[in-house]
């Protein structure tokens, strides 16, 4: 038997940390190699962490809800395989091994001491956003490490756990900005449940959504625009071929595929909207990768259609079908969720006719495609029944102004209204 470490794996490109949503094992549980031991949530996707060894779980180091950086220790496991490195071959080796154990213990103590001042990106971000001095917080994690829960508790209570520190003069840092601004998290903490109420813990994807939305609203100065589009001719064409298309291809030709095609074409002409805010600079992305919102019960995913501008309407329709199926069956990978440069949200699915989306940080904008409604419209001084839809654009006013966004929306409108049996090619 030997004791091995299981560290937080790299769960995807650009993923630097993961939050342990649920431990799937307990101390003393026997696991086989590749058995899942924990559900981990990142800002990209939920994933299961497999065991790297067969053996018995010896100690869980990280707690549920704790954010752990990639490569950092999650737990110890007593492995079934003997480790040549840990087995002494002789009494001399045994002595050396004992020395090594002692050194290892000392080393761990040194590591523990250093970990008190090692903060995860999530902790640092919370502290920076709320002007919190981390030295004022006592960590509850391993070796006194400060976890996200510690910071959130500090934000809620506004006091330091250490009684000695409570005697100090209060500083401006003990009053987090979040209390002053009244963000949703603080408001929710101030609400007490009453008899008969049902309390639902905020964790997993719901917590990730909440964190991302708060971050977007706190950091991004949103502005909104909306145009109305006549898609009568587009719908006539789509309705005339949808049954044959589904019979031939095995998946539906939805109106959303036409909108995706139009938006990606317009983004090629107006690359300003295909940008990201990067602190002291704006990064205008070369490739057009469209994030699409897919809902699954209480969860929301934003998988990505890559190189949308280079794809036919048929290819876009297939991507929508496959990504939506993956999301609803829990099969999305971290690669499916990465690299989005602009988000298109099909709010029309729910019958919505007007909405204001929250921008998917750090993208520059999000476009809501509202419900297609058949209604009377005046054309040539006469009423005509037309299929109309609103396009609602939320924009990051640090990156974009109304002029370029207005021109972008006008171009999307022009492309969509020009789609008909003579101009659209599915393949």
Q: Which domain CATH number covers 66?
A: 2.40.50.100
Residue 366 resides in a domain: yes
Q: How much is the average pLDDT of 231-248? A: 96
pLDDT value of position 85: 44
User: Higher confidence at residue 389 or residue 146?
Assistant: 389
- Give the chain's domain count: 2
Instruction: Give the model confidence (pLDDT) of 108-136 as tens digits.
Output: 555 455 455 556 656 666 776 676 777 77
- Domain CATH code at residue 308: 3.30.559.10
Residue 19 resides in a domain: yes
Instruction: Give the model confidence (pLDDT) of 170-211 as tens digits.
Output: 333 333 333 334 444 444 556 888 888 988 888 777 777 788
Residue 252 resides in a domain: yes
Residue 152 resides in a domain: no
Residue 357 resides in a domain: yes
Q: How much is the average pLDDT of 312-324? A: 95
Q: Which contacts of 176-181 are long-range, i.e. CB under 8 A and separated by 24 or more positions?
A: 176/130, 176/131, 176/132, 177/129, 177/130, 177/131, 178/129, 178/130, 179/155
Residue 69 structural domain: 2-79
**How many C-alpha atoms does 120 have within 13 Å on its Cβ side?**
29
Among 79, 96, 122, which residue terminates a domain? Answer: 79
pLDDT value of position 335: 84
pLDDT value of position 330: 80
Instruction: Give the model confidence (pLDDT) of 342-384 as tens digits.
Output: 999 999 988 999 999 999 999 999 999 999 999 999 999 999 9
Residue 248 resides in a domain: yes
Q: Report the catalytic residues.
A: 397, 401
Instruction: Give the model confidence (pLDDT) of 21-33 as tens digits.
Output: 778 888 888 888 8
pLDDT value of position 103: 52
Residue 101 resides in a domain: no
Residue 179 resides in a domain: no
Computed over every residue of the chain, the mean pLDDT equals 81
pLDDT value of position 387: 97
User: Sign of the CA dihedral 296, 298, 304, 308?
Assistant: positive
- Whether the predicted pLDDT of 89 surpasses 60: no
């Amino acid at each position: 038997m030997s004791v091995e470490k299981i560290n937080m794996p790299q769960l995807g490109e650009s993923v630097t940390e993961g939050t342990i949503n649920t431990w799937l094992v307990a101390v003393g549980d026997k696991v086989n190699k590749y058995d899942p031991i924990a559900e981990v949530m990142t800002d990209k996707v939920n994933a299961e962490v497999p065991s790297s060894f067969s053996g018995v779980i010896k100690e869980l180091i990280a707690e549920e809800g704790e954010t752990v950086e990639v490569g950092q220790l999650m737990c110890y496991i007593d492995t079934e395989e003997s480790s040549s490195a840990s087995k002494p071959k002789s009494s001399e080796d045994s002595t050396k091994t004992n020395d090594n154990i002692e050194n290892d213990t000392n080393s761990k103590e040194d590591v523990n001491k250093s970990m008190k001042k090692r903060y995860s990106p999530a902790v640092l971000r919370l502290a920076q956003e709320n002007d919190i001095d981390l030295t004022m917080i006592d960590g509850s994690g391993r070796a006194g490490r400060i976890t996200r829960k510690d910071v959130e508790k500090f934000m809620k209570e506004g006091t330091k756990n250490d009684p000695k520190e409570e005697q100090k003069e209060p500083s401006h840092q003990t009053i987090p900005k979040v209390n002053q601004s009244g963000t949703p998290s603080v408001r929710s903490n101030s609400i007490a449940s009453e008899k008969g109420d049902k309390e639902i813990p905020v964790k997993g994807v719901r917590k990730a959504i909440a964190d991302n939305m708060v971050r977007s609203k706190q950091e991004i100065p949103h502005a909104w625009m909306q145009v109305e589009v006549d898609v009568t001719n587009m719908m006539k064409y789509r309705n005339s071929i949808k049954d044959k298309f589904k019979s031939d291809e095995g998946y539906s030709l939805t109106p959303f595929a036409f909108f995706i095609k139009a938006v990606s074409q317009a983004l090629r002409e107006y690359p300003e909207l295909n940008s990201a805010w990067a602190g002291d600079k704006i990064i205008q992305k070369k490739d057009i990768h469209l994030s699409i919102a897919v809902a699954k019960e209480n969860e929301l995913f934003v998988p990505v259609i890559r190189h949308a501008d280079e794809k036919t309407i048929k290819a876009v329709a297939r991507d929508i079908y496959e990504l939506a199926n993956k999301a609803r069956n829990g099969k999305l990978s971290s690669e499916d969720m990465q690299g989005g440069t602009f988000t298109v949200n099909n709010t029309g699915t729910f019958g919505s006719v007007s909405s204001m989306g929250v921008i998917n940080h750090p993208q520059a904008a999000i476009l809501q495609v509202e419900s297609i409604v058949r209604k009377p419209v005046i054309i040539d001084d006469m009423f005509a029944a037309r299929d109309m839809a609103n396009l609602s654009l939320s924009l990051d006013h640090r990156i974009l102004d109304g002029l370029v966004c207005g021109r972008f929306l006008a171009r999307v409108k022009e492309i969509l209204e020009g789609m008909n049996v003579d101009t659209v090619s599915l393949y």
